[in-house]
A = this chain, B = another copy of it.
Amino acid sequence: MKLSDRVQAMQNSPIRKFNPMAAEAKAQGTKIYHLNIGQPDIVTPSVFMESIKGFDQKVLAYAESPGLPELQDSIIDYFKTFDMSLDRKDILITSGGSEALTLVFLSLINPGDEVIVAEPYYTNYLTFIQAADGVIKPVTTYAEDGYKYAYMDRLEAAVTEKTKMISIVNPGNPTGCILSREDMRVICDFAKKHDLWILADEVYREFAYDGREMTSFGQYEDVADRVIIIDSISKRFSACGARIGCLISKNADLMANVMKIAMGRLCCPTLEMVGATALYKLDPAFFSEVRAEYEKRRNVSYEALKKIPGVVCEQPGGAFYITCKMPVENTEDLLVFLLKEFRENNETVMYAPAEGFYATPGLGKNELRIAYILNAEDMARGIELLGKGIEAYKAAGHK
């Protein structure tokens, strides 16, 4: 009556594992600034609930396994603004980007196969890859260099005969690093040279700042057969609780095989697909407004972070995260201190410690990720608390 080796090898989510400690602090009346999870505070556009309220079928029946055709069509239209021409058969609707990732790894990875991933990485990638008995082959990146990874020599150093794919989040979680057109070209050439799949998680596509272009790996014709795009309404439309994402690929063989698993799980929730259909049709003006708001939050957050002595980070160009090196030895210990001991006006702050974002043992212990998903004022206060918390932590004799 044993458990599987794979599940025992998995870690607890380094983002969510401190939640019970936070719940305890809240129960004592402490206000916590949650900079630890990518849960935006932006109001979900009202068309989402309105279209769901309009659903009037008497029987809430199974949907077709690939997803509601209306939703596929509104995704097709959305991608036209990126000069991409998709068909319904290229799109599988999934339960969030998370399910799309699980399906991809199960469909591509044999036990022991390697996936090249820049570290620090979105920690759940490790879980999804381990679920398929795959292995992360990290390309280490550095705070001093803005966590950039599109260097041909560093990528090539990670290739072995077991390498099956390169997995990218662009704009990046947890670093906010965003690829330029030149960077994307490097990655396409790298994938072609070594005959690799490119998994492009682009759920933060619209979160590109300082006038940067919004891009997609789906725009590169010469790698069309090897690109798999992950999309999601969670961040873009502040609809994380809807759990609607999709997997997009022009590779018919891949899609046919992914569909075998997708048929097994039957379908995604009908109502949420109805709501998502309306969201994908929103005027791009919605994004511009949201983008401006996040750019402001990023600026405020970055400025506040730089005020903390010893913090190392570059200003990130996209998504809504900043990862940085902190002037402490262990950010998990610091977080426990913040949740259990530190208070100012009965307030404290929470972030995601970065050690769990690294495959290379020993790295990331002194790093953390902040999500700038609160309004500018709250971000400033949250980071101020972080600075004061570090002072108190050190004053208490910690390093």
Task: Please list the residues of chain A having a beta carbon within 8 angstroms of any beta carbon in chain B.
Answer: 1-8, 10-13, 16, 19, 37, 39-44, 48-49, 52-53, 55, 58-65, 95-96, 98-99, 102, 106-111, 113, 124, 127-128, 131-133, 164, 195-197, 225-226, 238-243, 253-254, 257-261, 263-272
Q: Does A59 lie within 8 Å of B40, measured CB to CB?
A: yes
- Known contacts A7-B107, A39-B62, A96-B265; 19 additional CB pairs below 8 A are A4-B110, A4-B113, A6-B106, A8-B257, A10-B261, A12-B260, A19-B64, A40-B59, A43-B59, A44-B59, A60-B239, A60-B240, A60-B242, A95-B243, A98-B266, A111-B133, A128-B264, A241-B270, A272-B272
Q: Report whether A59 and B42 are in contact in the complex, using a CB–CB cutoff of 8 Å.
A: yes
Taking CB atoms, residues of chain B closer than 8 Å to A111 are 111, 133
Q: List 8 A-B contacts (CB under 8 A).
A: A2-B164, A4-B110, A8-B257, A60-B239, A95-B95, A95-B269, A240-B266, A269-B272
Q: How many copies make up the complex?
A: 2
A60 / chain B contacts, CB cutoff of 8 Å? 44, 48, 238-242
With A265-B102, A271-B272 known as contacts, the answer to whether A257 contacts B3 (CB < 8 A) is: yes
Q: Which residues of B contact A265 (CB under 8 A)?
A: 95-96, 98-99, 102, 124
Check A39/B61 contact, CB under 8 A, given A52-B52, A95-B243, A127-B260: yes
Q: Taking the nearest CB of chain B, how far is it from the CB of A270, in angstroms?
A: 4
- A241 with B263: in contact, given A4-B107, A60-B48, A133-B111 (CB under 8 Å)? no
> Which residue on chain B has the smallest CB distance to residue A272?
B269
Asked whether, in the complex, the Cβ of B7 is within 8 Å of the Cβ of A257, the reply is yes
The 4 closest A-B pairs by CB, nearest first: A127-B264, A241-B270, A13-B263, A98-B265
The answer for the CA separation of A240 and B254 in the assembled complex, in Å, is 27
Q: Give the complex CA separation of A267 and B269 in angstroms.
A: 13
A243 touches B267 (CB 8 A): yes
Q: Which residues in B have their C-beta under 8 angstroms from that of A2?
A: 108, 164
Let me know if B241 and A63 touch, CB within 8 A: yes
A7 to B103, CA, bound (A): 10
Report A254 CB to chain B, min CB distance, Å.
7
Measured between C-beta atoms, what is the minimum distance from A373 to chain B in Å? 10
Given A96-B266, A107-B4 in contact, is the A260-B10 Cβ separation under 8 Å?
yes
> When the two chains form their complex, are residues A13 and B260 in contact, meaning their CB atoms are under 8 A apart?
yes
Output the least CB separation between A33 and chain B (Å): 16
A211 CB to nearest chain B CB (Å): 28
User: Shortest distance in angstroms between A345's beta carbon and chain B's nearest beta carbon?
Assistant: 25
Contact, CB under 8 Å: A109 / B4: yes
Bound complex: CA of A74 vs CA of B21, how far in Å?
A: 26
User: A379 to chain B: closest CB distance in Å?
Assistant: 17
A372 to chain B, nearest CB (A): 16
Q: How many angstroms from the CA of A131 to the CA of B3 in the assembled complex?
A: 16
Q: How far is the CB of A306 from chain B (nearest CB, A)?
A: 29
Contact of A260 among B7, B133, B263 (CB under 8 A): B7
Q: How far is the CA of A127 from the CA of B264 in the complex (A)?
A: 6
Q: Are B261 and A241 in contact (CB under 8 A)?
A: no
Q: A108-B3, A109-B4 are in contact. Are A243 and B268 (CB under 8 A)?
A: yes
